[in-house]
Amino acid sequence: MKFLVVTKQQLLILAFFIAFLSIFFCFYTSFAQKPEINNNYILPSSSQNNFSMFNLQEDLDAIYSSNEKVAYLTFDDGPTKIATTKILDVLKENDVHASFFVIGYRVEEFPNIVKRAYKEGHFIANHGYSHNNSKLYKSKNSFISEILDTDDSISRAIGINDYHSYIFRFPNGSKSTKYSVAKKNCKNYLKEIGYSYIDWNALNNDSIKKYSSYELLNNLKNSVKGKNSLVILMHDTIDVSKSYESLDSSIKFLKEQGYSFKTFYDLVQGQNLK
């Protein structure tokens, strides 16, 4: 009877073959399980830091109940040629910084104004690309694209790669009844892509009707009564009321009342996001 004789060399070849098979199997399974990457979900690189957006959202929500006498001036719907420029002039004269919730397509139109605002130390926040609710809430993809495309426009305007604005403001606010279900879903999408959102707790009603600068100041005075920490909604547009005309007196009034001014940089930087 002849015994099966296996040489050392044959054993070695067999071992290599088994090793090769297991490596091949590992690679195959890991690639097979990799999800398809959808370009719309790729974040700007600066957003991929280790941070919890939850903290930023909590900090933003906590502004309203804070005892600190702070005013966050916020301007929506710009940039526009006349209003934003005049507002930047008034802010500079008063040595005050603000936050601008810009619209993407307007950033494309007036990139130099956004660049100026950024260079002068104002926070550039995100108000969506089109300011058109039917586009914004069309689908998850369109909502996310509206935000990321706006950040892309800001990046090009200010000359910073992968600018991440971190804070979004829903057109008409997050609490308005129109599109309320869509907005609820979108709050989760914001979390997924590393953004928080903020509304306001004070305003001068500059988008409601045409008010004089005296009336705008009065509206603001009534709106801030009894509140310590303020997120003030105004607009850097001129189609309804001209907030830039009442801005100087509004800032002086707030200073007299003991308010100091902050931008959202103060919160975002506190989270080590930059």
Q: Which residues bind Zn ion (CB under 5 A)?
A: 76-77, 171
C-beta of 77 vs 151, nearer to Zn ion: 77
CB of 205 to Zn ion, least distance (A): 14
Decide whether 79 or 171 has the Cβ nearer to Zn ion. 171
Residue nearer to Zn ion on the CB measure, 122 or 127: 127
Nearest approach in angstroms of CB 214 to Zn ion is: 24
In the complex, the smallest distance separating the C-beta of residue 30 from Zn ion, rounded to whole angstroms, is 45
In terms of CB distance, is 171 or 194 closer to Zn ion?
171
Residue at token pair 């600066």: 46
Residue 199 C-beta: closest distance to Zn ion, Å: 12
CB 38, min distance to Zn ion, A: 28
Q: How far is the CB of 74 from Zn ion (least distance, A)?
A: 11
* C-beta separation of 219 from 204 below 8 A: yes
Rounded Cα distance between 259 and 256, Å, is 7
Q: Which is nearer to Zn ion, 147 or 273 (CB)?
A: 147
Give 77 or 146: the residue with its C-beta nearer to Zn ion. Answer: 77
Whole-number Å distance between alpha carbons of 253 and 246: 11
What type of residue sits at position 170? F
Q: Which of 121, 82, 81, 116 is nearest to 99 (CA)?
A: 121
The answer to whether the beta carbons of residues 124 and 118 sit under 8 Å apart is yes
Q: How far is the CB of 69 from Zn ion (least distance, A)?
A: 27
Residue with smaller CB distance to Zn ion, 47 or 146: 146
